[in-house]
Amino acid sequence: MVDYGIGAVVDLRSARNISDDPNPFADLVGVAYHHHDLWGDQVSDFKSSASSLTQEAKLADLYRTGFPRCEGVIGEIIGTLADEGDHATVFHCAAGKDRTGMIAALLLGVARVPHEIIIADYALTALYLDDPHRDHSNPDPMFIREDQAANSDTNAAPLPLYFSSCLPETMALALKFLDEEYGGIEGYVRKIGLSDAQIQRLRSKFVG
């Protein structure tokens, strides 16, 4: 990754994630390492709506909860990405689709990428990120596999099926929420504190 020109890494995981799986870039000379715990305690009491009956709607509820509750830390994350130098920057979480997908959607939106492409980009997760718990054909979003329940540790309950999904409709619902509540992605990033200069720097990183 360093040979590819990676100059910074933004780690969106929790302290527990990092304790279980330390980031190899944290102490690497020549690469700036930033830790921003996106979820933190802000969504610790998250529950999807009882009216959300599908995998895509239940997972969208998490994003629609996270965007407003995590405005402060998301502002720090996007600001860090905007203020990093003229080099490639990696950002990641643990699963590689939820926290990472939310930030990727915001960045693409700032670069004025159309919603349909943001949605398609998010859905590519199913192709490139293997997850044995993912089953988009199962109509029960709250399904928990027996082996997953049996192997869960004592500190964390096994997650329902919808947490493993990455259906395009999930991102479509999240983007609709941003449009309705903030006037779109640019409205959101301005609300969380990005300046005109930072927005322009982000755009220039994508489109030159």
Query: Is residue 134 one of the residues assigned to a domain?
Result: yes
Position 151 scores a pLDDT of 60
Residues of the chain below pLDDT 70: 148-156, 208
Average pLDDT over the chain, rounded to whole? 94
Query: Is residue 190 one of the residues assigned to a domain?
Result: yes
DSSP secondary structure letters along the chain: -TTTTEEEEEE---HHHHHHS--TTTT-TTSEEEE--SSTTTTTT----TT--SHHHHHHHHHHHHHHHTHHHHHHHHHHHHHS-SSEEEEE-SSSSSHHHHHHHHHHHHTT--HHHHHHHHHTHHHHS--TT--TT-S-TT---HHHHHH--TTSPPPPGGGG---HHHHHHHHHHHHHHHSSHHHHHHHTT--HHHHHHHHHHHH-
| Residue-wise pLDDT tens digits, 68-119 | 999 999 999 999 999 999 999 999 999 999 999 999 999 999 999 999 999 9
d(CA 16, CA 190): 31
- Print the domain residue range for 198: 6-40+49-207
Position 155 scores a pLDDT of 62
pTM, entire model: 0.94
Q: What CATH code is carried by the domain that includes residue 121?
A: 3.90.190.10
Position 189 scores a pLDDT of 98
Query: Is residue 119 one of the residues assigned to a domain?
Result: yes
CA distances in angstroms from 146 to 96, 150, 158, listed in the order given? 24, 6, 10
Query: Is residue 1 one of the residues assigned to a domain?
Result: no
Position 37 scores a pLDDT of 98
Q: What percent of the chain clears pLDDT 90, i.e. is strictly above it?
A: 88
> Which is nearest to 163 in space by CA: 86, 34, 60?
60
What total number of domains does the chain contain? Answer: 1
Position 146 scores a pLDDT of 79
